[in-house]
Amino acid sequence: MFPSTYRTTALVNGEVTVAALPFPHEALGAGTVVIRPDLMGICRADAKEVVGSRDIPTDRGPLFGHEFLGPVAFAGADTGFREGELVTFNPNVTPNRTTGFAEYVFVHGTAAELDQAVIRVPEPDPAWMPEPFACIVHANAKLLELTGLDSLAGKRVGIIGAGCSGLMFALHARHLGASIVVFNRGESRRDFAQQREILTAQEIHPLADAESFRDTFDVVIVVPTIITPDVLHTAATIAAPHGTLHLYGGTRSTDRFPDSTLDIDTIRRQELIKPLTHQAKPLAVSGAYGCARSDYEEAFRLHTTHPEAFPLERLISHYITLDDFPQLITDIATSTRDFPGKVVIST
């Protein structure tokens, strides 16, 4: 039923390789689900792990190869899954799994763990990546919870970063009733967002122009690859007094808000909200991290019931093969090449 070998990738000391390994028949235990990915997404976090610029949480392990979807190829007797079910993966539950950049992915756990980590896909043939969208759904729900807001209706939301995450924040905040403006440093992602009709010309601006939006936004979502002091200063500048800066990506353990002792990495990873006074302006700083099974369910519901509001398929900019992957991720990680939107590996 299974081949004698299967192809998988390895990341060792910053080098990415793809090779055929013996199929581990001994791994097919009662608590194992094996998934055969049809689609695998490349995330900025994968590139960060290649160059070692990401702090890896021990409770869930490396992210390298965490966005994928495909059928269950094997379901152990105790897993609660069936062969052939279309599933995707939540990397925030267990480190006990192999990389998703492979022809087969092995996830091990108790029935309760697998119930959270392996998510049934209710759509027949999705051409979009559920995990990053579930993280956005989670992050906006967390924003509302932390700020005590009932909704984003009528709120002005600024977003720094038009990467995949920034664009999905824009779609979701707009759907929740906010008016949105996205700021991106480079031209390529600004053009991509307009060409794919994800944002209008009024909704996307150069980051260099952000200061003309001084004191404007009720919420500023900060979502670039790395959160630099300059980015934080810009975010604080464009926030309205008593506004909230919501941090999503790009913090490291030693990061502090400029001119303060505010530990922004802990705020993000522990999903806290803290007051901050920046240049005499009262603000709050909040953060969000990861997602749960319920966020996937909401993500699928939104995509199914509001396909025009969530054209997530249009975020995919390139399809590649597993053989193309080692060179491409190395080029992305070393900034030799850069792609707007989402690059996916298709089998």
Ligand X SMILES: NC(=O)c1ccc[n+]([C@@H]2O[C@H](COP(=O)([O-])OP(=O)(O)OC[C@H]3O[C@@H](n4cnc5c(N)ncnc54)[C@H](OP(=O)(O)O)[C@@H]3O)[C@@H](O)[C@H]2O)c1
Using the contact rule CB under 6 A, the part of the chain among 100-108, 170-178, 218-226, 318-326 near ligand X is 218-226
Which residues are CB-neighbours of 327 under 8 A, at least 6 positions away?
A: none
- CA of residue 8 relative to chain centroid, distance: 22
CB of 48 closer than 8 Å to CB of 54: yes
Between residues 118 and 160, which has the closer beta carbon with respect to ligand X? 160
Q: Which is nearer to ligand X, 174 or 185 (CB)?
A: 185
Neighbours of 279 (CB within 10 A): 9
Number of residues that bind ligand X (CB under 6 A): 28
* Contact between 335 and ligand X per CB under 6 A: no
> E strand or H helix at 95, and its extent?
none
x/- binding map, residues 94-133, to ligand X, per CB under 6 A? --------------------------------------x-
Considering the complex, state which of residue 79 and residue 99 has its C-beta at the smaller distance from ligand X: 99
Kindly tell me which residue out of 129, 231, 235, 328 binds ligand X, with binding defined by CB under 6 A: 231
Contact 145, 295 (CB under 8 A): no
Figure out which of the listed residues 186, 229, 282, 307 binds ligand X, where binding follows CB under 6 A.
186
Helix or strand or coil: residue 308? coil
Query: Residue 289 interacts with ligand X (CB under 6 A)?
Result: yes
| Cα 69 to Cα 66: distance, rounded to the nearest angstrom | 10
Q: In what order do the strands lie in the sheet with 239-247?
A: 204-206, 179-184, 156-160, 217-222, 239-247, 281-287, 273-278
Q: Does the footprint of ligand X cover residue 172 (CB under 6 A)?
A: no
Beta strand 239-247 with 273-278 is: unpaired
Q: Does 248 bind ligand X (CB under 6 A)?
A: yes
**By rule CB under 6 A, what string of x and - marks binding of each residue 19-48 to ligand X?**
------------------------xxx---
140 touches ligand X (CB under 6 A): no
* CA triple 96-267-295, angle to 5 deg: 55
Interface contacts to ligand X, rule CB under 6 A: 43-45, 132, 135, 161-166, 184-186, 189, 207, 223-226, 228, 231, 248-250, 288-290
